[in-house]
């Protein structure tokens, strides 16, 4: 059993709880243990737990930690993922669904996994299908990150809408989001990064009763600072987390450098 990690700093901004850890491993372990505890607790009072997962390099430590926590009845977990590229081949390693299979789903075998089909033809048909799945399985927990431009999922500032009427929509990730995929080593060049994607909308992401946001690394320090210190607006979509009743932001020392 891993030694319990402690935050080096904890505080609250508006309704958002913020915990800072010494390094990425401690941050990931703390977030993984917190999500595991919440899944277990919810399964004592309900038949299933619906969880939305983010797929990004920033989530690796968290997902690894979550996958090894004992005592979770994963057969009662319904898993969604929050965004997906449009048009990549089904076996492409950078499809977010495939990434999540490697990093978490194949390790824990959730009872149900609902993947976004990035090859639906026409793409608009996937909006109807996935919307119905989300309506049938309202999210209990959202596990997400924050992009370098402050996005959550692919809700970049240009497309972010705190009152979006859609559950899922098609967007064109902006240059910062696409470049982040290169920074994270997902694609070798900017030109290789797809120009269209599906994303769950902000109202769906924050409709979960519990939100856990994991954001490590020096490239995220400016976005973290805006999230915590900036005006709550779609100029930095992640600022909406400060209005959520049960949201926790997990940082490492690098991503927290500009919040003092």
Q: What's the token pair of residue 72?
A: 């979770």
260 vs 136: CA distance, rounded Å? 42
Average pLDDT of each block of 10 consecutive residues along the chain (260 residues)? 84 98 98 98 98 94 97 98 90 88 97 96 94 98 96 94 97 78 72 83 98 97 98 98 98 94
Query: What pTM, to 2 d.p., does this model score?
Result: 0.94
196-232: buried (b, 16+ CB within 10 Å) or exposed (e) per residue?
ebbbbbbebbbbbebbbbbbbbeebbbbbbbbbeeeb
Q: What are the residue boundaries of the structural domains of the chain, listed by start?
A: 18-67+87-216+232-248
Backbone φ and ψ for 163, nearest 5 degrees, come out as: -120, 30
For residue 74, list its beta bridge partners: none
Assign domain 18-67+87-216+232-248 to its CATH architecture. 3-Layer(aba) Sandwich (3.40)
Backbone φ and ψ for 141, nearest 5 degrees, come out as: -135, 135
What are the residues whose beta carbons fall under 8 Å from the beta carbon of 49, sequence distance 6 or more?
Answer: 39, 42, 43, 76, 77, 78, 140, 141
């Amino acid at each position: 059993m891993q030694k319990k990690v402690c935050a080096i700093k904890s505080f609250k901004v508006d309704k958002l709880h913020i915990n800072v850890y010494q390094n990425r491993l401690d941050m990931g372990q703390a977030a993984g243990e917190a999500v595991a505890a919440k899944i277990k607790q919810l399964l004592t009072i309900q038949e299933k737990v619906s969880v939305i997962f983010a797929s990004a390099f920033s989530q690796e430590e968290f997902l690894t930690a979550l996958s090894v926590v004992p005592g979770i009845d994963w057969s009662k977990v319904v898993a969604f993922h929050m965004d997906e590229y449009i048009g990549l081949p089904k076996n492409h390693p950078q499809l977010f669904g495939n990434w999540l299979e490697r990093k978490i789903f194949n390790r824990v075998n959730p009872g149900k996994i609902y993947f976004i089909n990035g090859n639906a033809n026409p793409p608009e048909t996937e909006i109807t299908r996935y919307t119905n799945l989300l309506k049938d399985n309202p999210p209990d927990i959202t596990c997400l990150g924050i992009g370098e431009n402050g996005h959550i999922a692919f809700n970049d500032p240009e497309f972010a809408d705190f009152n979006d009427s859609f559950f899922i929509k098609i967007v064109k990730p902006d240059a910062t989001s696409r470049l982040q995929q290169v920074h994270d080593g997902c694609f070798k060049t900017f030109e290789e990064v797809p120009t269209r994607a599906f994303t769950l909308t902000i109202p769906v992401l924050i409709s979960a009763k519990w939100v856990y946001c994991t954001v490590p690394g020096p490239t995220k320090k400016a976005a973290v600072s805006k999230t915590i210190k900036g005006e709550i607006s779609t100029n930095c979509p992640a600022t909406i987390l400060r209005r959520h009743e049960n949201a926790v932001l997990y940082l490492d020392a690098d991503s927290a450098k500009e919040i003092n």
